[in-house]
Structure 1
Protein backbone atom coordinates (compact mmCIF):
# COMPACT_ATOMS: atom_id res chain seq x y z
CA UNK A 1 0.00 0.00 0.00
CA UNK A 2 1.35 3.43 -0.93
CA UNK A 3 2.24 5.67 1.99
CA UNK A 4 0.44 9.00 2.57
CA UNK A 5 3.82 10.76 2.38
CA UNK A 6 4.41 9.43 -1.15
CA UNK A 7 0.93 10.56 -2.15
CA UNK A 8 1.56 14.09 -0.88
CA UNK A 9 4.92 14.28 -2.63
CA UNK A 10 3.43 12.99 -5.90
CA UNK A 11 0.63 15.53 -5.73
CA UNK A 12 3.04 18.36 -5.00
CA UNK A 13 5.27 17.24 -7.87
CA UNK A 14 2.33 17.55 -10.27
CA UNK A 15 1.65 21.09 -9.09
CA UNK A 16 5.35 21.91 -9.24
CA UNK A 17 5.87 20.74 -12.81
CA UNK A 18 2.62 22.33 -13.91
CA UNK A 19 3.75 25.63 -12.39
CA UNK A 20 7.18 25.34 -14.03
CA UNK A 21 5.56 24.88 -17.44
CA UNK A 22 2.93 27.61 -17.08
CA UNK A 23 5.21 30.22 -15.53
CA UNK A 24 7.98 29.32 -17.97
CA UNK A 25 5.79 30.01 -20.98
CA UNK A 26 4.46 33.20 -19.39
CA UNK A 27 8.02 34.37 -18.74
CA UNK A 28 9.05 33.56 -22.30
CA UNK A 29 6.05 35.46 -23.68
CA UNK A 30 6.89 38.49 -21.55
CA UNK A 31 10.54 38.43 -22.63
CA UNK A 32 9.51 38.28 -26.30
CA UNK A 33 6.89 41.03 -26.02
CA UNK A 34 9.29 43.31 -24.18
CA UNK A 35 11.90 42.57 -26.89
CA UNK A 36 14.42 41.30 -24.36
CA UNK A 37 14.96 38.10 -26.36
CA UNK A 38 14.34 37.04 -29.95
CA UNK A 39 14.66 33.92 -32.08
CA UNK A 40 16.26 31.44 -31.51
CA UNK A 41 16.39 32.03 -27.75
CA UNK A 42 12.61 32.14 -27.40
CA UNK A 43 12.39 28.73 -29.11
CA UNK A 44 15.13 27.38 -26.83
CA UNK A 45 13.29 28.53 -23.70
CA UNK A 46 9.98 27.09 -24.89
CA UNK A 47 11.66 23.76 -25.69
CA UNK A 48 13.27 23.65 -22.23
CA UNK A 49 10.09 24.48 -20.37
CA UNK A 50 8.12 22.02 -22.50
CA UNK A 51 10.24 19.19 -21.11
CA UNK A 52 8.47 19.77 -17.80
CA UNK A 53 5.36 18.27 -19.40
CA UNK A 54 7.09 14.90 -19.45
CA UNK A 55 7.78 15.20 -15.72
CA UNK A 56 4.23 16.42 -15.12
CA UNK A 57 2.80 13.34 -16.82
CA UNK A 58 5.06 11.05 -14.80
CA UNK A 59 4.10 12.73 -11.52
CA UNK A 60 0.40 12.56 -12.36
CA UNK A 61 0.66 8.86 -13.19
CA UNK A 62 2.59 8.21 -9.98
CA UNK A 63 -0.23 9.77 -8.00
CA UNK A 64 -2.89 7.88 -9.94
CA UNK A 65 -1.06 4.59 -9.41
CA UNK A 66 -0.74 5.37 -5.71
CA UNK A 67 -4.47 6.05 -5.50
CA UNK A 68 -5.29 2.93 -7.50
CA UNK A 69 -6.96 5.03 -10.21
CA UNK A 70 -4.37 4.57 -12.99
CA UNK A 71 -6.70 2.79 -15.41
CA UNK A 72 -5.55 1.69 -18.84
CA UNK A 73 -7.78 4.35 -20.41
CA UNK A 74 -6.25 7.09 -18.24
CA UNK A 75 -2.70 6.01 -19.11
CA UNK A 76 -3.55 6.04 -22.82
CA UNK A 77 -5.20 9.46 -22.53
CA UNK A 78 -2.21 10.93 -20.67
CA UNK A 79 0.10 9.58 -23.36
CA UNK A 80 -2.03 11.11 -26.12
CA UNK A 81 -2.32 14.40 -24.24
CA UNK A 82 1.46 14.60 -23.94
CA UNK A 83 1.84 13.90 -27.66
CA UNK A 84 -0.69 16.64 -28.37
CA UNK A 85 0.96 19.22 -26.11
CA UNK A 86 4.44 18.67 -27.50
CA UNK A 87 3.14 18.58 -31.08
CA UNK A 88 1.13 21.78 -30.63
CA UNK A 89 4.03 23.68 -29.09
CA UNK A 90 6.44 22.35 -31.70
CA UNK A 91 4.25 23.10 -34.72
CA UNK A 92 3.24 26.51 -33.42
CA UNK A 93 6.86 27.45 -32.80
CA UNK A 94 7.89 26.13 -36.23
CA UNK A 95 5.08 28.01 -37.99
CA UNK A 96 5.85 31.31 -36.25
CA UNK A 97 9.57 30.91 -36.88
CA UNK A 98 9.06 30.05 -40.56
CA UNK A 99 6.82 33.08 -41.06
CA UNK A 100 9.27 35.44 -39.37
CA UNK A 101 12.31 33.99 -41.12
CA UNK A 102 11.19 33.33 -44.71
CA UNK A 103 8.12 35.61 -44.99
CA UNK A 104 6.14 33.14 -47.15
CA UNK A 105 2.95 34.02 -48.96
CA UNK A 106 0.08 32.33 -50.75
CA UNK A 107 -0.64 28.63 -50.10
CA UNK A 108 2.50 28.17 -47.98
CA UNK A 109 1.39 30.92 -45.60
CA UNK A 110 -2.07 29.36 -45.37
CA UNK A 111 -0.52 25.98 -44.60
CA UNK A 112 1.66 27.47 -41.85
CA UNK A 113 -1.36 29.20 -40.34
CA UNK A 114 -3.44 26.00 -40.32
CA UNK A 115 -0.74 23.53 -39.29
CA UNK A 116 -0.83 24.06 -35.47
CA UNK A 117 -4.64 23.92 -35.38
CA UNK A 118 -4.60 20.34 -36.67
CA UNK A 119 -3.29 19.21 -33.29
CA UNK A 120 -6.38 20.68 -31.60
CA UNK A 121 -8.52 18.22 -33.53
CA UNK A 122 -6.27 15.45 -32.18
CA UNK A 123 -6.83 16.68 -28.60
CA UNK A 124 -10.61 16.69 -29.05
CA UNK A 125 -10.40 13.16 -30.44
CA UNK A 126 -8.18 12.04 -27.53
CA UNK A 127 -10.64 13.39 -24.96
CA UNK A 128 -13.63 11.80 -26.69
CA UNK A 129 -11.73 8.52 -26.98
CA UNK A 130 -10.94 8.58 -23.27
CA UNK A 131 -14.58 9.13 -22.31
CA UNK A 132 -15.61 6.11 -24.38
CA UNK A 133 -12.76 3.88 -23.17
CA UNK A 134 -12.93 4.72 -19.46
CA UNK A 135 -14.97 2.14 -17.51
CA UNK A 136 -14.53 3.87 -14.15
CA UNK A 137 -17.49 6.24 -13.83
CA UNK A 138 -15.79 8.33 -11.13
CA UNK A 139 -12.67 8.89 -13.25
CA UNK A 140 -14.79 9.74 -16.27
CA UNK A 141 -16.77 12.30 -14.24
CA UNK A 142 -13.53 13.81 -12.91
CA UNK A 143 -12.31 14.42 -16.44
CA UNK A 144 -15.66 15.88 -17.50
CA UNK A 145 -15.65 18.21 -14.49
CA UNK A 146 -12.08 19.30 -15.22
CA UNK A 147 -12.99 20.02 -18.87
CA UNK A 148 -16.04 22.03 -17.78
CA UNK A 149 -13.89 24.01 -15.34
CA UNK A 150 -11.35 24.66 -18.11
CA UNK A 151 -14.07 25.86 -20.47
CA UNK A 152 -15.50 28.20 -17.84
CA UNK A 153 -12.01 29.47 -17.01
CA UNK A 154 -11.39 30.19 -20.70
CA UNK A 155 -14.73 32.00 -21.13
CA UNK A 156 -14.14 34.23 -18.11
CA UNK A 157 -10.52 34.97 -19.02
CA UNK A 158 -11.22 35.65 -22.71
CA UNK A 159 -14.20 37.88 -21.93
CA UNK A 160 -12.31 39.81 -19.27
CA UNK A 161 -9.30 40.33 -21.51
CA UNK A 162 -11.54 41.26 -24.43
CA UNK A 163 -13.23 44.00 -22.42
CA UNK A 164 -9.88 45.29 -21.17
CA UNK A 165 -8.63 45.35 -24.76
CA UNK A 166 -11.77 47.11 -25.98
CA UNK A 167 -11.32 49.84 -23.38
CA UNK A 168 -7.66 50.23 -24.29
CA UNK A 169 -6.12 49.07 -21.03
CA UNK A 170 -4.70 45.75 -22.25
CA UNK A 171 -2.69 44.77 -25.35
CA UNK A 172 -4.11 42.61 -28.11
CA UNK A 173 -3.88 38.86 -27.50
CA UNK A 174 -3.85 36.42 -30.42
CA UNK A 175 -6.67 33.89 -30.48
CA UNK A 176 -4.35 30.89 -30.25
CA UNK A 177 -3.55 31.82 -26.66
CA UNK A 178 -6.98 30.39 -25.84
CA UNK A 179 -5.51 26.88 -26.09
CA UNK A 180 -2.96 27.65 -23.40
CA UNK A 181 -5.57 29.30 -21.18
CA UNK A 182 -7.86 26.27 -21.53
CA UNK A 183 -4.97 23.92 -20.71
CA UNK A 184 -4.19 25.94 -17.57
CA UNK A 185 -7.86 25.72 -16.61
CA UNK A 186 -7.77 21.95 -17.11
CA UNK A 187 -4.78 21.68 -14.82
CA UNK A 188 -6.43 23.86 -12.18
CA UNK A 189 -9.62 21.81 -12.43
CA UNK A 190 -7.73 18.57 -11.88
CA UNK A 191 -5.72 20.11 -9.03
CA UNK A 192 -8.90 21.31 -7.31
CA UNK A 193 -10.43 17.85 -7.52
CA UNK A 194 -7.24 16.25 -6.18
CA UNK A 195 -7.27 18.67 -3.25
CA UNK A 196 -10.88 17.78 -2.55
CA UNK A 197 -10.01 14.09 -2.67
CA UNK A 198 -7.17 14.57 -0.19
CA UNK A 199 -9.43 16.50 2.15
CA UNK A 200 -11.96 13.67 1.93
CA UNK A 201 -9.27 11.10 2.74
CA UNK A 202 -8.16 13.14 5.77
CA UNK A 203 -11.63 13.10 7.33
Structure 2
Protein backbone atom coordinates (compact mmCIF):
# COMPACT_ATOMS: atom_id res chain seq x y z
CA UNK A 1 0.00 0.00 0.00
CA UNK A 2 1.30 3.42 -0.88
CA UNK A 3 1.67 6.32 1.53
CA UNK A 4 -1.02 8.19 -0.42
CA UNK A 5 -3.55 5.37 0.09
CA UNK A 6 -2.66 5.14 3.78
CA UNK A 7 -3.11 8.90 4.17
CA UNK A 8 -6.65 8.61 2.70
CA UNK A 9 -7.71 6.05 5.27
CA UNK A 10 -10.25 7.50 7.70
CA UNK A 11 -8.75 8.88 10.89
CA UNK A 12 -10.39 7.87 14.14
CA UNK A 13 -9.66 11.00 16.17
CA UNK A 14 -12.85 12.98 15.55
CA UNK A 15 -15.26 10.01 15.83
CA UNK A 16 -13.58 8.87 19.06
CA UNK A 17 -13.62 12.34 20.65
CA UNK A 18 -17.24 12.81 19.55
CA UNK A 19 -18.25 9.48 21.08
CA UNK A 20 -16.43 9.99 24.37
CA UNK A 21 -17.67 13.55 24.89
CA UNK A 22 -21.25 12.74 23.84
CA UNK A 23 -21.30 9.66 26.11
CA UNK A 24 -20.03 11.54 29.15
CA UNK A 25 -22.16 14.60 28.37
CA UNK A 26 -25.37 12.64 27.87
CA UNK A 27 -24.88 10.68 31.09
CA UNK A 28 -24.25 13.91 32.99
CA UNK A 29 -27.33 15.61 31.49
CA UNK A 30 -29.63 12.66 32.19
CA UNK A 31 -28.33 12.27 35.76
CA UNK A 32 -28.34 16.00 36.58
CA UNK A 33 -31.58 17.14 34.94
CA UNK A 34 -33.65 13.93 34.82
CA UNK A 35 -35.53 14.87 31.62
CA UNK A 36 -38.74 13.21 30.47
CA UNK A 37 -38.44 9.87 28.66
CA UNK A 38 -38.68 11.22 25.06
CA UNK A 39 -35.97 13.81 25.79
CA UNK A 40 -33.82 11.15 27.48
CA UNK A 41 -34.12 8.99 24.36
CA UNK A 42 -33.03 11.88 22.15
CA UNK A 43 -30.09 12.65 24.43
CA UNK A 44 -28.94 9.01 24.44
CA UNK A 45 -29.32 8.79 20.66
CA UNK A 46 -26.35 11.14 20.25
CA UNK A 47 -23.69 8.83 21.76
CA UNK A 48 -25.35 5.85 20.05
CA UNK A 49 -24.98 7.56 16.67
CA UNK A 50 -21.40 8.55 17.53
CA UNK A 51 -20.64 4.92 18.46
CA UNK A 52 -21.98 3.71 15.11
CA UNK A 53 -19.94 6.39 13.29
CA UNK A 54 -16.80 5.38 15.19
CA UNK A 55 -17.29 1.68 14.39
CA UNK A 56 -18.00 2.36 10.70
CA UNK A 57 -14.90 4.57 10.44
CA UNK A 58 -12.81 1.84 12.08
CA UNK A 59 -14.06 -0.79 9.65
CA UNK A 60 -13.47 1.54 6.68
CA UNK A 61 -9.96 2.31 7.88
CA UNK A 62 -9.11 -1.38 8.26
CA UNK A 63 -10.52 -2.13 4.82
CA UNK A 64 -8.56 0.71 3.18
CA UNK A 65 -5.38 -0.34 4.93
CA UNK A 66 -5.85 -3.90 3.75
CA UNK A 67 -6.42 -5.46 7.17
CA UNK A 68 -8.82 -8.38 7.23
CA UNK A 69 -11.91 -7.60 9.34
CA UNK A 70 -11.60 -10.90 11.30
CA UNK A 71 -13.17 -10.20 14.66
CA UNK A 72 -13.97 -6.54 14.09
CA UNK A 73 -17.25 -6.96 12.23
CA UNK A 74 -18.68 -9.44 14.72
CA UNK A 75 -17.43 -7.23 17.56
CA UNK A 76 -19.10 -4.17 16.04
CA UNK A 77 -22.41 -6.00 15.72
CA UNK A 78 -22.21 -7.31 19.29
CA UNK A 79 -21.34 -3.90 20.75
CA UNK A 80 -24.06 -2.02 18.86
CA UNK A 81 -26.74 -4.56 19.86
CA UNK A 82 -25.54 -4.61 23.48
CA UNK A 83 -25.39 -0.80 23.61
CA UNK A 84 -28.98 -0.58 22.37
CA UNK A 85 -30.13 -3.22 24.88
CA UNK A 86 -28.24 -1.37 27.63
CA UNK A 87 -29.90 1.94 26.72
CA UNK A 88 -33.36 0.34 26.64
CA UNK A 89 -32.88 -1.44 29.97
CA UNK A 90 -31.38 1.65 31.59
CA UNK A 91 -34.28 3.84 30.46
CA UNK A 92 -36.77 1.23 31.66
CA UNK A 93 -35.03 0.89 35.03
CA UNK A 94 -34.89 4.68 35.51
CA UNK A 95 -38.56 5.01 34.56
CA UNK A 96 -39.64 2.19 36.89
CA UNK A 97 -37.59 3.63 39.75
CA UNK A 98 -39.09 7.11 39.28
CA UNK A 99 -42.69 5.99 39.02
CA UNK A 100 -42.91 3.07 41.43
CA UNK A 101 -41.66 2.31 44.90
CA UNK A 102 -39.34 -0.59 44.25
CA UNK A 103 -37.97 -2.72 47.06
CA UNK A 104 -36.81 -6.22 47.80
CA UNK A 105 -36.10 -8.66 44.98
CA UNK A 106 -37.90 -6.53 42.38
CA UNK A 107 -35.62 -3.57 43.14
CA UNK A 108 -32.57 -5.83 42.88
CA UNK A 109 -33.68 -7.25 39.53
CA UNK A 110 -34.48 -3.82 38.08
CA UNK A 111 -31.15 -2.46 39.32
CA UNK A 112 -29.13 -5.36 37.89
CA UNK A 113 -30.81 -5.52 34.46
CA UNK A 114 -28.85 -2.59 32.91
CA UNK A 115 -25.59 -4.15 34.14
CA UNK A 116 -26.12 -7.35 32.15
CA UNK A 117 -25.47 -5.78 28.72
CA UNK A 118 -22.41 -4.09 30.22
CA UNK A 119 -21.12 -7.53 31.18
CA UNK A 120 -21.89 -8.63 27.63
CA UNK A 121 -19.76 -5.76 26.32
CA UNK A 122 -16.85 -6.92 28.45
CA UNK A 123 -17.24 -10.45 27.06
CA UNK A 124 -17.45 -9.03 23.50
CA UNK A 125 -14.19 -7.15 24.06
CA UNK A 126 -12.50 -10.31 25.27
CA UNK A 127 -13.87 -12.22 22.26
CA UNK A 128 -12.44 -9.52 19.98
CA UNK A 129 -8.95 -10.33 21.21
CA UNK A 130 -9.55 -14.08 20.89
CA UNK A 131 -11.13 -13.83 17.43
CA UNK A 132 -8.53 -11.45 16.00
CA UNK A 133 -6.20 -13.37 13.69
CA UNK A 134 -3.89 -10.47 12.83
CA UNK A 135 -1.27 -10.27 15.60
CA UNK A 136 -0.61 -6.57 15.04
CA UNK A 137 -4.34 -5.74 15.30
CA UNK A 138 -4.59 -7.92 18.43
CA UNK A 139 -1.69 -6.01 19.97
CA UNK A 140 -3.43 -2.70 19.17
CA UNK A 141 -6.63 -3.91 20.88
CA UNK A 142 -4.69 -5.10 23.93
CA UNK A 143 -2.79 -1.81 24.18
CA UNK A 144 -6.05 0.11 23.83
CA UNK A 145 -7.57 -1.91 26.70
CA UNK A 146 -4.47 -1.48 28.86
CA UNK A 147 -4.62 2.30 28.38
CA UNK A 148 -8.32 2.22 29.27
CA UNK A 149 -7.65 0.13 32.37
CA UNK A 150 -4.83 2.41 33.51
CA UNK A 151 -6.96 5.52 33.01
CA UNK A 152 -9.90 3.96 34.84
CA UNK A 153 -7.75 2.83 37.79
CA UNK A 154 -6.07 6.23 38.05
CA UNK A 155 -9.35 8.17 37.79
CA UNK A 156 -11.18 5.94 40.30
CA UNK A 157 -8.29 6.04 42.78
CA UNK A 158 -7.93 9.81 42.62
CA UNK A 159 -11.71 10.33 42.80
CA UNK A 160 -11.91 7.93 45.75
CA UNK A 161 -9.33 9.89 47.72
CA UNK A 162 -10.97 13.21 46.85
CA UNK A 163 -14.31 11.77 47.91
CA UNK A 164 -12.82 10.48 51.16
CA UNK A 165 -11.68 14.03 51.96
CA UNK A 166 -15.11 15.41 50.94
CA UNK A 167 -13.74 17.43 48.02
CA UNK A 168 -15.99 15.89 45.36
CA UNK A 169 -19.47 14.32 45.43
CA UNK A 170 -20.01 10.58 45.59
CA UNK A 171 -20.29 8.82 42.24
CA UNK A 172 -21.88 5.40 41.83
CA UNK A 173 -19.43 2.56 41.15
CA UNK A 174 -20.81 1.94 37.64
CA UNK A 175 -18.95 5.08 36.56
CA UNK A 176 -15.80 2.91 36.53
CA UNK A 177 -17.08 1.16 33.39
CA UNK A 178 -18.00 4.48 31.79
CA UNK A 179 -14.52 5.86 32.49
CA UNK A 180 -13.03 2.63 31.10
CA UNK A 181 -15.04 3.04 27.88
CA UNK A 182 -13.81 6.63 27.60
CA UNK A 183 -10.30 5.25 28.13
CA UNK A 184 -10.84 2.97 25.12
CA UNK A 185 -11.29 6.14 23.12
CA UNK A 186 -8.01 7.51 24.40
CA UNK A 187 -6.39 4.16 23.62
CA UNK A 188 -7.67 4.42 20.05
CA UNK A 189 -6.22 7.92 19.74
CA UNK A 190 -2.87 6.70 21.13
CA UNK A 191 -2.78 3.80 18.68
CA UNK A 192 -3.61 6.13 15.81
CA UNK A 193 -0.91 8.58 16.85
CA UNK A 194 1.69 5.82 17.14
CA UNK A 195 0.98 4.30 13.72
How many matched pairs? 192
Alpha carbons 1:161, 1:170 under 8 Å: kept: yes
Which residue of structure 2 aligns with residue 91 of structure 1?
Answer: 89
Which sits farther off after the overlay, 80-89 or 134-143? 80-89
Q: 1:172 to 1:65 in 2, by over 3 A?
A: same
Q: 1:179 to 1:67 in 2, by over 3 A?
A: same
What do the CA deviations read for 1:151-187 (whole angstroms, capped 9, x no partner)? 1110000011111111111111111111111011112
After the TM superposition, which parts of structure 1 deviate over 4 Å for at least 4 consecutive aligned residues?
none
* 1:29-178 to 2 correspondences below 5 Å: 29-32=27-30, 34-35=32-33, 38-40=35-37, 41-178=39-176
What do the CA deviations read for 1:82-110 (whole angstroms, capped 9, x no partner)? 22233223322321222112232222211
Q: 1:144 to 1:96 in 2, by over 3 A?
A: same
Secondary structure at the aligned position of 1:38 is classed as coil
Q: 1:70 to 1:194 in 2, by over 3 A?
A: farther
Alpha carbons 1:61, 1:70 under 8 Å: kept: no
Shift of 1:4: 4.1
Separation in structure 1 between the aligned mates of residue 137 and residue 187 of structure 2, nearest angstrom: 13
Alpha carbons 2:17, 2:185 under 8 Å: kept: no
Which residue of structure 1 aligns with residue 184 of structure 2?
Answer: 186
Separation in structure 2 between the aligned mates of residue 191 and residue 69 of structure 1, nearest angstrom: 18
Alpha carbons 2:16, 2:188 under 8 Å: kept: no
Shift of 1:121: 2.5
Separation in structure 2 between the aligned mates of residue 141 and residue 132 of structure 1, nearest angstrom: 11
TM-score, structure 1 as length reference: 0.84
Shift of 1:147: 1.0
Secondary structure at the aligned position of 1:3 is classed as helix
Q: Larger RCO: Structure 1 or Structure 2 (Cα < 8 Å, ≥ 6 residues apart)?
A: 2
* RMSD after superposition: 2.1
Alpha carbons 2:86, 2:114 under 8 Å: kept: yes
Separation in structure 2 between the aligned mates of residue 128 and residue 107 of structure 1, nearest angstrom: 31
Separation in structure 2 between the aligned mates of residue 132 and residue 32 of structure 1, nearest angstrom: 35
Separation in structure 2 between the aligned mates of residue 124 and residue 168 of structure 1, nearest angstrom: 32
Q: Structure 1 stretches of 5 or more lacking a match? A: 198-203
